[in-house]
Structure 1
Amino acid sequence: MLTSTQASNWYLLQCKPRQDERAKTNLLRQNYVIFCPQIVSQRSIHGKPHQSLEPLFPGYLFIQLGRDDKWAPLRSTRGVSRIVDFNHGPAMVPDDIIEHLRNRCYKPPQVHVPQPFKPGEILQITRGPLSTLEGIFLTMLGDERVMILLHFLNREQPVRIPLNDLERTHLHL
């Protein structure tokens, strides 16, 4: 996110026709803070009910900018047409309107991203032939496997385990 020491305000951007997603992607890639209020739309497709997410204001996005933030790149950002203006200046959108929209529009479900394990952390194996054993986390092996150190058969063995088969131990006091 672009952060600045001065206060920032919300403004309205107009996107090029049918390029809302492209504009959103490119603005996020440039670390701008944007908001695109969405609603759940009910339709009938081939006689069956169908739900989809649609922008509340197709063709428009809200962007948060401070006076010292970089405004010039917005003009050349793919998918962005212009900053909407009134009276020869950018149209500022009050914070209370943005908050109102945030409270009333679709909110994507919160995805819980587990904190990565730390070397030396004790983990419980929850699935597979070694379930119920505990091991010490050593390292990640790609995105889906880890190396843990098991005390097994009277010696310590490094073992590769699927990440999904592990969880942090819960200390019982």
Structure 2
Amino acid sequence: MAWYVLYTKSRQEKKVEEQLLELGLDVYCPKLKKVKQWSDRKKIVEEPLFRSYVFINIEEKERHLAFKAFGVVKYLYWLERPAIVKDKEIEAIRNLLGEFEYSEIEVEQFEREDRILIKSGPLTDKEGIVKKVDDNSIEVLIEALQMKVRVDLRSNKVSKLTSG
């Protein structure tokens, strides 16, 4: 069996995970706990780490079963083949999310196309390329996951590997 990446309709990740689990399939939707502030209260909510993505561990010949869940759009492809994520990558995400805590940051200037290493948070030890820089965050292409992610510089340690 292999871990495949499902692309879901917007904001349907948790519902897709729930439906596929009810079908007895091995599914994983990594989630972060965040504190949301409303005018009258604060609440801890779980949000998907990867928007519109859910991982499913299934035999290739049974991949069609995923479409029984409302909200599944398609499988993610890489080089004209369904994208496969290694077991150790899924386990690393699970372990990192279990240990995730906000940490102090080291101030560093980032520019587009800098190669960086994420040193804390759920993507610890992932390398990426800076694609966009904002005041408190950077948008990073994580090639190993084939995804762009926004890294909050207030809660993640990030170091520059090289420029250009």
Give the TM-score category using the shorter length: 0.5 to 0.7
Structure 2 matches for 1:14-163, cutoff 5 A?
14-46=7-39, 48-68=41-61, 70-106=62-98
Runs of 4+ in 1 over 6 A off after TM superposition: none
Deviations for 1:108-156, whole angstroms, at most 9, x for unmatched residues?
xxxxxxxxxxxxxxxxxxxxxxxxxxxxxxxxxxxxxxxxxxxxxxxxx
Residue 53 of structure 1: CA displacement?
A: 1.2
Structure 1 residue ranges without an equivalent (≥5):
1-7, 108-173
The separation in 2 between residues aligned to 1:89 and 1:30, in whole angstroms, is 25
Q: 1:65 to 1:75 in 2, by over 3 A?
A: same
The separation in 2 between residues aligned to 1:58 and 1:38, in whole angstroms, is 10
Structure with greater Cα Rg: 1
Residue 78 of structure 1: CA displacement?
A: 1.3
Conserved? CA contact 1:37–1:106, under 8 Å: no
Q: Under a length normalisation based on structure 2, what TM-score does the superposition of the two structures give?
A: 0.54
Residue 49 of structure 1: CA displacement?
A: 3.2
Equivalences, count: 99
Residue 28 of structure 1: CA displacement?
A: 1.4
Q: Under a length normalisation based on structure 1, what TM-score does the superposition of the two structures give?
A: 0.51
State the one-letter code of the partner of 2:70.
R
The separation in 2 between residues aligned to 1:81 and 1:49, in whole angstroms, is 33
